[in-house]
């Protein structure tokens, strides 16, 4: 096939780069003013566009390349947040484009690739990916999510913690939701607490957090009016989110005293395949400021808790209008059963899909590729997965400011039974800060072993070293 286009000389190189997802034998530019670009092409490679392919989403380009599918990376902003830069792999993409605020121009650029799908990578890409898919769905036959049509932005429900629970409440009386209020006024929240008698019954606590944050950023556990005022003031003072997200609006929710779980899934056409489930274990500082992750434990497909969270997660996805792509759903179980914390239309962060692959026979990443690029194969995919070994990701916290990591002692990590790898959030010569949330944890240790008791023994040693301050120089 030959394609002929008249171009100005200044556009020649640009167009060649844009067309790099063709398998071509010749590209030639001739003349100085009116140029003819001749592309002798065999067949254009299929293209998938990922918006903000950072963190776990950086794993996808290589996965698609195994199937001869090109990936175009769309950056929702020019600047990449410092925490996300280490995971950015521009060499894996066929092309990188940046959204600079002109939506119509962006649509023109996206059309030129004729993508199979547009999917979000990191949290910051969720809204833009869904909006682009909806704008081009009929023209390019793209898979989409419905979201909630009655809201100004149907896809805000994938980012807004308050809207999620309001939708559950309205969708069906069979789906449990959290009692909540959206307000930037501490007095308004305190009045709501009094009306519901939260501090005198039940858990005697509430959660105050930004409506649009991610992870444990800006999350406060409050059991006094003073703590509510401090939480509201602190959230309002967040200058820039650790994830580059809007944290200016606040939601207060009832506090659920229970165990937290994660259900990761991939969806297409309303079919949901659960790829992996985890149990979160967290620690709440005495101050109530922030939440410290203790460890994430990979769970088998079946079990007492899993048999409750699987159907609940599917109900929640359907209620929120999430029918396509990756999803990451966090759920509490208490004495009343499961209840949603939040759902995100993206992969689980912290490279956890790669960790799931270490412990599960079936590849969550491959299932995602099937849903996006091979829908017939995905729709035939059977539910369920098989654990081949136990996996636990352990978060290390720092209980002090200004300490320095002791590299000599760190070598002890590698001798732990089940040790696989570790990372530190602070360099050897960089002083630590006291851990208050996911963004400033000391580091991570990954353990894998066929025997879960071996992992638990190594976890005990890690916590003892952490408590004694053994990771730091004396």
The C-alpha atoms of residue 343 and residue 345 are separated, in whole angstroms, by 7
Asked if residue 148 is part of any domain, the answer here is no
57 lies in the same domain as 37: no
Asked if residue 349 is part of any domain, the answer here is yes
294 lies in the same domain as 397: no
352 lies in the same domain as 461: no
343 lies in the same domain as 251: no
The tally of domains found in the chain comes to: 5
251 lies in the same domain as 263: no
287 lies in the same domain as 373: yes
Residue 203 structural domain: 179-255
Per-residue pLDDT at 20: 46
Here the CATH number for the domain that contains residue 400 is: 3.90.1170
The C-alpha atoms of residue 134 and residue 156 are separated, in whole angstroms, by 14
DSSP letter (8 states) at residue 405: B
Spell out the per-residue pLDDT of the chain, length 474, in tens. Answer: 223 233 333 333 344 344 444 443 233 333 334 333 333 344 589 999 999 999 999 999 999 999 999 999 999 999 998 888 999 999 999 999 999 999 999 999 999 999 999 999 999 999 999 999 999 999 999 999 999 987 789 999 999 999 999 999 999 888 999 999 999 999 999 999 999 999 998 889 999 999 987 777 788 999 999 999 999 999 998 866 555 555 678 999 999 999 999 999 999 998 999 999 999 998 776 655 667 888 999 999 999 999 999 999 999 999 999 999 999 999 999 999 999 999 999 999 989 999 999 999 999 999 999 999 999 999 999 999 999 999 999 999 888 898 888 888 888 899 999 999 998 887 777 888 888 777 788 889 999 999 999 999 999 999 999 989 999 987
Residue 82, classified by CB atoms within 10 Å of its CB into exposed (0-12), middle (13-18) or buried (19+), is exposed
261 lies in the same domain as 377: yes
The C-alpha atoms of residue 425 and residue 409 are separated, in whole angstroms, by 16
Query: What is the value of pTM for the model shown?
Result: 0.88
Domain boundary among 358, 382, 406: 382
Per-residue pLDDT at 23: 41
Asked if residue 286 is part of any domain, the answer here is yes
214 lies in the same domain as 199: yes
**How many CA atoms are closer than 13 Å to the CA of 78, on its beta-carbon side?**
2
Here the CATH number for the domain that contains residue 97 is: 3.40.50.20
Please state, in angstroms and as integers, the Cα–Cα distance from residue 317 to each residue in 66, 141, 327, following that order.
29, 22, 8
């Amino acid at each position: 096939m030959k394609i002929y286009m008249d171009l100005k000389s200044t556009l020649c190189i640009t167009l060649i780069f844009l067309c790099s997802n063709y398998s071509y034998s010749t590209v030639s530019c001739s003349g100085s003013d009116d140029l003819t670009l001749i592309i002798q092409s065999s067949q254009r490679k299929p293209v998938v566009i990922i918006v903000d392919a950072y963190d776990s989403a950086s794993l996808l380009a290589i996965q698609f390349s195994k199937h001869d599918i090109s990936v175009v990376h769309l950056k929702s902003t020019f600047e990449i947040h410092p925490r996300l830069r280490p995971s950015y792999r521009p060499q894996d993409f066929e092309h990188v484009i940046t959204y600079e605020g002109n939506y119509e121009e962006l649509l023109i650029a996206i059309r030129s690739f004729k993508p199979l799908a547009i999917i979000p990578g990191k949290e910051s890409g969720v809204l833009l990916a869904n909006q682009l898919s909806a704008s081009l769905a009929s023209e390019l036959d793209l898979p989409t999510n419905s979201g909630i049509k009655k809201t100004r932005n149907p896809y805000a429900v994938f980012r807004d913690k308050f809207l999620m629970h309001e939708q559950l409440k309205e969708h069906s009386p069979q789906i449990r939701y959290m009692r909540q209020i959206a307000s930037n006024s501490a007095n308004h929240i305190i009045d709501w607490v009094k009306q519901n008698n939260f501090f005198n019954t039940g858990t005697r606590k509430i959660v105050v957090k930004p409506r649009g944050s991610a992870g444990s950023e800006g999350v406060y556990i409050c059991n006094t009016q003073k703590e509510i005022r401090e939480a509201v003031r602190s959230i309002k003072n967040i200058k820039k989110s650790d994830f580059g997200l809007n944290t200016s609006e606040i939601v207060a929710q009832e506090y659920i005293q229970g165990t937290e779980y994660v259900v990761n899934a991939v969806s297409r056409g309303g079919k949901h395949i659960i790829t992996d489930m985890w149990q979160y274990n967290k620690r709440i500082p005495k101050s109530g400021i922030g939440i410290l992750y203790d460890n994430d434990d990979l769970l088998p497909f079946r079990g007492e808790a899993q048999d409750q969270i699987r159907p609940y997660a599917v109900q929640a996805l359907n209620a929120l209008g999430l029918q396509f792509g990756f999803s990451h759903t966090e759920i509490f179980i208490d004495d009343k059963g499961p209840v949603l914390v939040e759902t995100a239309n993206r992969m689980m962060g912290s490279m956890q899909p790669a960790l799931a692959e270490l412990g599960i026979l079936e590849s969550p990443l491959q299932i995602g590729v099937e849903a996006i690029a091979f829908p017939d194969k995905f729709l035939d995919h059977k539910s369920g997965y098989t654990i081949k070994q136990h996996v636990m990701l352990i978060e290390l916290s720092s209980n002090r400011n200004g300490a320095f990591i002791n590299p000599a002692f760190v070598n002890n990590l590698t001798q732990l039974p089940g040790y696989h790898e570790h990372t530190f959030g602070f360099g050897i010569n960089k002083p630590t800060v006291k851990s208050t949330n996911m963004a400033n944890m000391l580091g991570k240790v990954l353990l894998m072993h066929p025997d879960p008791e071996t992992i638990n023994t190594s976890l005990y040693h890690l916590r003892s070293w952490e408590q004694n301050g053994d990771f730091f120089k004396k």
